[in-house]
A and B are shown apart, each in its own frame.
Chain A
Amino acid sequence: MKHKPDVIINTIARLMVPFIQMYALYVMVGTEGAGGGFQGGVVFAASFVLFVTAFGITKGRSRLPESWNTALSSLGLYLYAGIGILCIILSLGIANYLNYGALPLAKLTGIAMTRGLVISFVVEVGIALTVMAIFASIFFDLAWKSEDEGGEQ
């Protein structure tokens, strides 16, 4: 079925998508308020769902290409697990896996609360990247139709 553009849905979607993504970034870094990586990632993926609903799946896929999608889905997990490995490496084997206090960030930056910064800006963002990419990937795979099934290319 060919995608027919609709002026109301297009305008609303064009208006809403940036705000949804901004809100997702706010929720993602859950230091002060409610939120966290899982919720932020799902809200970010929901913005892509809205975009595809309004502009069609081909245009949506060109905004989030398959290669980027696959790379991002594993990058988030690598960030999270890599921080855990870094804790062991940088403390020369003294600290446990995922013991963020062992990272020598406090000496480098002079801020005492670096442990919290690592949690909110690396771990949560890593979770959010994985969740966002995986949910978008599942949505695109379910919605995609190949050419011989009569879908648009």
Chain B
Amino acid sequence: MKAITASALVLVILLGALFIYVAEDIPAFGDPNSPANRWVNLSISVDAGADVLTSLNDGVVPEVLAEKIKDRGFPLPPGYKVEEEEGGWNVLIPTGERLYHELQEYYFINREGDRLWVYRYSAPVRWQERCEEETGVPNMVTAGLADYRGYDTLGETTVIFTAGISVILLLRRRGKL
């Protein structure tokens, strides 16, 4: 009995140490400028030649870059726009959704030295920056729960409803009330 207690204590302490170690390793949470929250590097790069730069400044993604982006699995849709940004270019694309904003930030082409790197904006960027004007709810959690993930919440409510109906069918005794 005593050995079990001692070993359980050791196990709990080890588990606690493991949890603390893992929690220390988590990157700064909620920092809007940390890479994972801001963008994803697509590992696409080309040389920043003169023709590429003039093409980008004219508002067209050059053929070399478009081919590589297509190979990566994110083909450029028709009707995209290129906008100059500090240190690079934003690629804006139209979305298929009606009643939302027409152009969304999709790629960021960053100039580092004499090479161009392509980044993709991640979903939290749109969530943080646009959720209030898109949904009209000042609470980000409610906007995510009922608007962006509306189908999911409808399904959760249906699960609870089904559970209640099952309990009614199995356990309800027919009383006077």
Taking CB atoms and an 8 Å cut-off, the chain A residues in 101-153 that contact chain B are 101-102, 112-117, 119-120, 123-124, 126-127, 130-131, 133-135, 137-138, 141-142, 144-147, 153
Q: Taking the complex as formed, is B43 at the interface, i.e. its CB lies under 8 A from any CB of chain A?
A: no
Q: Taking the complex as formed, is B42 at the interface, i.e. its CB lies under 8 A from any CB of chain A?
A: no
Q: Which residues of the other chain, B, contact A38 by a CB distance below 8 angstroms?
A: 156
Q: Taking the complex as formed, is B57 at the interface, i.e. its CB lies under 8 A from any CB of chain A?
A: no
At the interface, is chain B mostly helix, strand, loop or mixed? helix
Among the interface residues B136, B139, B163, which one has the most CB atoms of the partner chain A within 10 A?
B136
> Which one of A4-12, A18-26, A91-99 is at the interface?
A91-99
> Which among A74, A98, A99 is the interface contact of B161 at CB below 8 angstroms?
A74
For A99, the closest partner residue in chain B by CB is B99
Contact of A114 with B136 in the complex, beta carbons under 8 Å: yes
> Which among B99, B157, B163, B174 is the interface contact of A77 at CB below 8 angstroms?
B157
Q: Taking the complex as formed, is B64 at the interface, i.e. its CB lies under 8 A from any CB of chain A?
A: no
Known contacts being A73-B161, A84-B154, A137-B164, is A66 close to B177, with CB within 8 Å? yes
How many of A's residues come within 8 Å of B, CB to CB? 55
Known contacts being A36-B145, A119-B147, is A141 close to B98, with CB within 8 Å? no
Say how far A45's CB is from chain B's closest CB, in angstroms.
Answer: 11
Contact of B154 with A80 in the complex, beta carbons under 8 Å: yes
Say how far B155's CB is from chain A's closest CB, in angstroms.
Answer: 11
17 A–B contacts, CB within 8 A, in A order? A36-B141, A61-B177, A77-B158, A80-B154, A97-B151, A99-B98, A99-B99, A102-B99, A114-B136, A127-B157, A130-B157, A131-B157, A134-B163, A135-B164, A142-B171, A146-B173, A153-B175
B interface vs A, CB < 8 Å? 97-100, 135-139, 141-143, 145-147, 150-151, 153-154, 156-158, 160-161, 163-165, 167-168, 171-177
